Structure 1
């Protein structure tokens, strides 16, 4: 019998060598190569058939003319067409009558929730609980009224903006330019004594602060600090503070004032049906009057 050779079959190398390490010249399997070539052909076809290559003012559209933007626009148009009837009804009915129509009210709340999450949640929060400087829409503190008509007006025209001449407007003076530092300290302590949430830092200044308050603040906030929602003057005797009711925050508020701005949503942003929908949604959150 022939004796088998002990010599191992050596694969040829590529001829390259790195620090004494040589590279075998093992060919790739043919099935792998054919798949690789197929993916190249498929990639070339895909870049020609579909939008792919960025250009100066856009991208190649592809000979199939397919576009995700056009698909979304078509779906939006179909949805708007399907809801055209109920939107027309929502835009024309009396605001107070929306709640009396179960179908219309359900649609308004659902559509209003979508509008709120798109346009309002950035400031008021996804759950409408607000943040520092942005009102909580779930409580009963409404600076400009919490009826559905009041809410509708605030959404449509906004507050203290320069875009809409019908925007709600009020302005607190910067009392740092009017009062002495001692007087500001006095009135801050007095205002803190009004609120159930805070105690004055220096109770000995409360009496003097009351007179400063009556002379400078009561015309808007009322003698008892109850506020005036239709002037945009908040209630100072409750536990709700838009910017904070602690000593340092009140010092800053009295000295420099506050001037929060809400943009108008009427016009280019929202149509009448959308404004009414989001007003309905906000009104039923729990704090609407």
Structure 2
């Protein structure tokens, strides 16, 4: 046995020992865990095949000389022999294909235990338990739960006080800014704000009944400021002629037509959390990881009115 072969055997043994210590010594080890078993089997096969191939071809480079018929093509005067694929490579290639088909069809994760599957089952069981335990929570208790959800999920973008971290997210103390109203009028909206994928057209589809014409730039500016100012000031006539049919004369929404744009209400916040939203600042993702009661609680907390920064500092 030459030094190359001996070195390869020692290296393979060392790698297999490290594999056993890292996988077999972890919590749960290899017992009844198909994921760890497959990982260990793959590591063993990889080490053995790699060492075998390296030894074979290093020895071949040391002793063999190339023979055979050269192909007509060459790259930078480097020729290629028309030799068949080595049998070992062909066997490994076909074996890898067969193993891959078995893995995805009969192995993991289709037809076997998996840690991911167990985790998902545990999460579902916890969610069901949570839903059952807090199904009837209402009023102040629901708002308190919503505060916890807000701090855990919403403050990253909106800030602990809900003011939007210097414009990086919407200021939740205001129903909507003039900038966002203008953006929605210009671009339209179809983000499930009523929970059913309702769509608001862009400016080309907005008709002012008072002037019998499409809404103009000046009217967009006026109605944006009117809505952002709490449905007060100039722009009331534009709102009445263009927006009231879907959003109501008071801006508090019409069922199946348009959401409440005067104040936050629970239905609106729940649907924004469920579907996400895109506005002038950017896109807000949906929060599908929250269950229905958590979204309801966050909506109750926001709709009830967030505390001011001064109030938070005084606590």
Q: Which TM-score applies when normalising by structure 2?
A: 0.36
With a CA cutoff of 8 Å and minimum separation of 6, indicate the structure with the bigger relative contact order: 1
**Greater helix share, 1 or 2?**
2
Q: Which TM-score applies when normalising by structure 1?
A: 0.38
